[in-house]
């Protein structure tokens, strides 16, 4: 959520920065300001009346204490009408406020000045590249072929259980998935100093609102209901990312500056309805309704937010380096960023069997956009309450990492060699058929 005061004081700047995202949101600013002005005008009126009522009520109390009942009754009658006007004005204030907030909570974050202008992913500059595309003395297979050959994933039976977009990992595939989760958690906890948390996988609306998933992207979420009780629908959702619960851990709290930065890492499955995306890239493991992810979250002061952002990116990259995977880092342009983010790097890993880079990580600084939505603050050394920066980054998403891993490390004989760091977790150095 943007700061209403910033919009009031610098409407042109806000309009311009919203326009750079090319989503048309700047058109809403005028209406927002009109409603805001209306609210403040009504609020001023009603507060004067309330002040008056408070004063008279106190006088009535004093009169009754002195047993001057007739005078007290007279004042009561007089004040009754003020109460009616207050009730009307209160309603008008609430109406204006709700209308204002309906717009405000749907405006996306403002891009950081270092974010390049652009319309789509085609305009994202590549920041750096690590490693190079591996050369094969044979035509590399796609992960789908490898998974079938090595029986890592049973696509048909996954679909039988839950429909298309759901995976049944089997044998070495299941073990590899588990090993990857364990490795990533270990790296971030032991080498990067994050605190591991394990959140609920079913979360409340407030979590979804706080990180900016709701209300705009409600149709992307899986809603759950208890048994046959339809009235429970709309309260709980399957998490689309661990960011949603973990970023909300300290919602409504006032942290001490000395506690910051807070660094959390969490494993969770992620559930995405991907409404409207049916049929797009549904073959294989690249776009699925459920995947595993290890997520990094930081709560930092505005002073260190962007340094922490770079560090988080390095932490996510480290994972790919350990697994010997070629990747590139791109900086998302203004037109390609997510709703809550002020600046985002994507890490794209090379998948030889696909002949393309796959997004496995998105590392964002949302600045105070989410903190404001969830009323998360911290107290500075001087006693001032401020909104901290909230950062999130995948460290990393698993299904696509799995794809890149098996495609990159496949051998001519159809086996997959395992990177050294993964071997202790699997007690093997390669995956063979059978």
DSSP H/E element including 365:
strand 356-365
Smallest gap from Cβ 3 to RNA, in A, equals 8
303 Cβ partners below 8 Å, 6+ apart?
A: none
- Angstrom distance (rounded) from CA 218 to CA 176: 33
Q: What is the DSSP string of 119-151?
A: SSGGGPPEEEEES-PPP-SS-PPPHHHHHHHHT
Whose Cβ is closer to RNA: residue 50's or residue 151's? Answer: 50
Q: Which of 23, 33, 64, 224 binds RNA (CB under 7 A)?
A: 64
CA separation (Å) from 20 to 1, 16, 115, 330?
A: 17, 6, 10, 18
* Stretch near RNA under the rule CB under 7 A, chosen from 122-130, 134-142, 346-354, 378-386: 378-386
Here the tokens at position 18 are 């919203």
Cβ 258 to RNA shortest distance, Å: 12
Q: Which residue has the tokens 């971030």?
A: 188
Of 6, 27, 48, 278, the one binding RNA (CB under 7 A) is 48
| Nearest Cα residue to 273 out of 165, 162, 394, 201 | 165
Tell which phi-psi region holds residue 279, choosing left (phi > 0), alpha (psi between -120 and 50) or beta: left
Shortest distance, position 295 Cβ to RNA, whole Å: 24
Q: Look at strands 254-256 and 377-379 and give their pairing.
A: parallel
Least distance to RNA, CB of residue 335, Å = 31
Backbone angles phi, psi at 222, to 5 degrees: -90, 120
CB-based contacts of 356-359 (< 8 A; 24+ apart in sequence) = 357/327, 357/328, 358/286, 358/400, 358/403, 358/404, 359/397, 359/400
Our finding on whether 68 is near RNA (CB under 7 A) is no
Contact region with RNA (CB under 7 A), list: 44-52, 256-264, 271-279, 305-313: 44-52
Q: Is 53 in the site for RNA (CB under 7 A)?
A: yes
Select 41 or 128, whichever has its Cβ closest to RNA: 41
Contacting residue, 16, 54, 164, 198, with RNA by CB under 7 A? 54
Q: Which is nearer to RNA, 250 or 343 (CB)?
A: 250
Q: Looking at 67, 80, 139, 427, which residue binds RNA (CB under 7 A)?
A: 80
Q: Which tokens in the block code for residue 34?
A: 């009109």
> Count of residues binding RNA (CB under 7 A)?
28
Q: Which is nearer to RNA, 53 or 318 (CB)?
A: 53
Please answer whether residues 393 and 333 qualify as being in contact, where contact means their C-beta atoms are separated by less than 8 angstroms: no
Nearer to RNA, 28 or 386 (CB): 386
3-class secondary structure for 179-193?
HHHHHHHHHHHHHCC
Position 34 contacts RNA (CB under 7 A): no
Unique residue bearing structure tokens 């203004």? 334
> DSSP letter string over 142-176?
PHHHHHHHHT-B-HHHHHHHH-TT---B-HHHHHH
Q: Which position among 10, 34, 58, 190 is part of the footprint of RNA (CB under 7 A)?
A: 58
* Residue 175 lies near RNA (rule: CB under 7 A): no
Question: Does the protein bind RNA through residue 47 (CB under 7 A)?
Answer: yes
Where in 297-316 is the site for RNA (CB under 7 A)? none
Q: Whole-angstrom Cα distance, residue 59 to residue 62?
A: 5
Q: In sequence order, what are the beta bridge partners of 345? A: 331, 363
DSSP string, 279-338: TSS-STTSS-SEEEEEEEEEEE-TTTHHHHHHHHHHHHHHHHHHTT--EEEEEPPGGG--
Quick one: which of 158, 152, 154 has its CA closest to 178?
Answer: 152
The correct pick among 43, 159, 197, 277 for binding RNA (CB under 7 A) is 43
- Least Å distance between CB 64 and RNA? 5
Pick between residue 54 and residue 259 the one whose CB is nearest to RNA.
Answer: 54
Candidates 38-46, 137-145, 187-195, 347-355; binding stretch for RNA (CB under 7 A): 38-46
User: Judged by CB under 7 A, which of 119, 126, 233, 254 binds RNA?
Assistant: 254
Which C-beta is closer to RNA: that of 44 or that of 193?
44
- Please identify, among the stretches 55-63, 166-174, 180-188, 356-364, the one whose residues bind RNA according to the rule CB under 7 A: 55-63
**Residues shown for the chain:** 434
Q: Which residue in 15, 22, 76, 430 binds RNA (CB under 7 A)? A: 76
CA 3 to chain centroid, in Å, comes to 19
Q: Which stretch binds RNA (CB under 7 A): 76-84, 114-122, 130-138, 402-410?
A: 76-84
Task: Specify the DSSP class assigned to residue 417.
Answer: E
Instruction: Considering only the stretches 54-62, 100-108, 241-249, 363-371, report the one whose residues sit in contact with RNA under the rule CB under 7 A.
Output: 54-62
Q: Fill in the per-residue mask, 380 to 399: x = in contact with RNA (CB under 7 A), - = not in contact.
A: ---x-x--------------
Q: Please identify which residue in 377, 389, 400, 409 interacts with RNA, judged by CB under 7 A.
A: 377
Binding site for RNA (CB under 7 A): 4-5, 40, 43-44, 47-48, 50-51, 53-58, 60-61, 64-65, 76, 79-80, 83, 254, 377, 379, 383, 385
């Amino acid at each position: 959520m943007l700061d209403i005061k910033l919009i009031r004081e610098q409407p042109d700047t806000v309009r311009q920065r919203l326009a750079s995202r090319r989503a048309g949101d700047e058109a809403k600013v005028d209406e927002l300001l009109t409603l805001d002005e209306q609210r403040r005008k009504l609020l001023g009126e009603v507060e004067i009346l309330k002040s008056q009522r408070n004063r008279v009520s106190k006088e009535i109390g004093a009169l009754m204490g002195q047993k001057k009942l007739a005078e007290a009754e007279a004042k009561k009658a007089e004040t009754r009408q003020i109460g009616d006007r207050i009730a009307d004005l209160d309603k008008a204030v609430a109406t204006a406020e709700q209308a204002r907030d309906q717009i405000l909570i749907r405006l996306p974050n403002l891009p950081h000045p270092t974010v390049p202008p652009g319309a789509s992913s085609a305009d994202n500059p590549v920041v750096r590249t690590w490693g190079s595309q591996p050369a094969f003395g044979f035509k590399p297979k796609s992960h789908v072929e490898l998974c079938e050959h090595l029986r890592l994933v049973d696509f048909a039976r996954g679909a039988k259980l839950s429909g298309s977009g759901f995976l049944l990992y089997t044998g070495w595939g299941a073990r590899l998935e588990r090993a990857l989760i364990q490795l990533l958690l270990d790296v971030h906890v032991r080498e990067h100093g994050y605190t591991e948390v394990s959140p609920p996988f079913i979360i409340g609306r407030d979590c979804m609102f706080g990180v900016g998933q709701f209300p705009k992207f409600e149709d992307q979420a899986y809603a759950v209901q208890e048994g046959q009780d339809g009235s429970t629908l709309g309260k709980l959702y399957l998490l689309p990312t661990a960011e949603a619960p973990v970023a909300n851990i300290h919602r409504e709290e006032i942290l001490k500056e000395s506690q910051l930065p807070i660094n959390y890492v969490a494993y969770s499955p992620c559930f995405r309805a991907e409404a409207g995306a049916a049929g797009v890239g549904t073959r294989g493991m690249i776009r699925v309704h459920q995947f595993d992810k290890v997520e990094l979250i930081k709560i930092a002061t505005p002073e260190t937010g962007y340094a922490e952002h770079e560090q988080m990116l390095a932490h996510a990259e480290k994972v790919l380096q350990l697994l010997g995977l070629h990747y590139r880092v791109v900086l998302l342009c203004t037109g390609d960023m997510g709703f809550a983010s002020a600046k985002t790097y994507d890490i794209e890993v090379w998948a030889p069997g696909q002949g393309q880079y796959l997004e496995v990580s998105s590392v964002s600084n949302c600045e105070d956009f989410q903190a404001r939505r969830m009323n998360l603050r911290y107290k500075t050394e001087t006693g001032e309450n401020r909104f901290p920066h909230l950062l999130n980054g995948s460290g990393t998403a698993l299904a696509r990492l799995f794809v890149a891993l098996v495609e990159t490390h496949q051998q001519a004989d159809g086996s997959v060699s395992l990177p050294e760091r993964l071997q202790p977790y699997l007690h093997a150095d390669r995956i063979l058929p059978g």
